[in-house]
Amino acid sequence: MRSTHNPLEFCPMTRHDPESLCGICGMPHVAEATHGERVVYFVVTKRGGVAHFREPDPEAKVRRTDAAILAFQLGVDESSLPGRWFSCWVEPAEYGVFESDFRLEEPQHS
């Protein structure tokens, strides 16, 4: 029986067999193709141990993350983060999003 309390249409737990139902929530499994997307960001500044970044649109919301972790994920020195462009795979989750597969990007010009 399908769970009615889960706001997701599919169970994010397993992707190997989209025809089966999850043994925990009873929802169909997500197929290999996910609903995520690759998003490009620009590091605006670094204040202390916090990196401030946003999407290329100047009006986009500025987000914050741990600068040391972001630098590690990108394979660069923490002090070189300001001015860097990067992308990551962003996939919706039940409570927020998952970000993975961080990559350095060439500067974007608008």
pLDDT over 70 (residue 26): no
**Per CATH, the architecture of 37-105 is what?**
Beta Barrel (2.40)
Considering only CA atoms, give the Rg of the chain.
17
The residue written with tokens 């992308």 in the block is 87
DSSP secondary structure letter of residue 11:
B
The residues of the chain that CATH labels 2.40.50 are: 37-105
Average pLDDT over residues 44-56: 96
Burial 52-80 (b: 16+ CB within 10 A, else e): bbeeeeeeeeeeebebeebbebbeeebee
Contact 27, 21 (CB under 8 A): yes
Measured from the Cβ of residue 43, the count of other Cβ atoms closer than 10 Å reads 21
Give the mean pLDDT of the chain.
Answer: 80
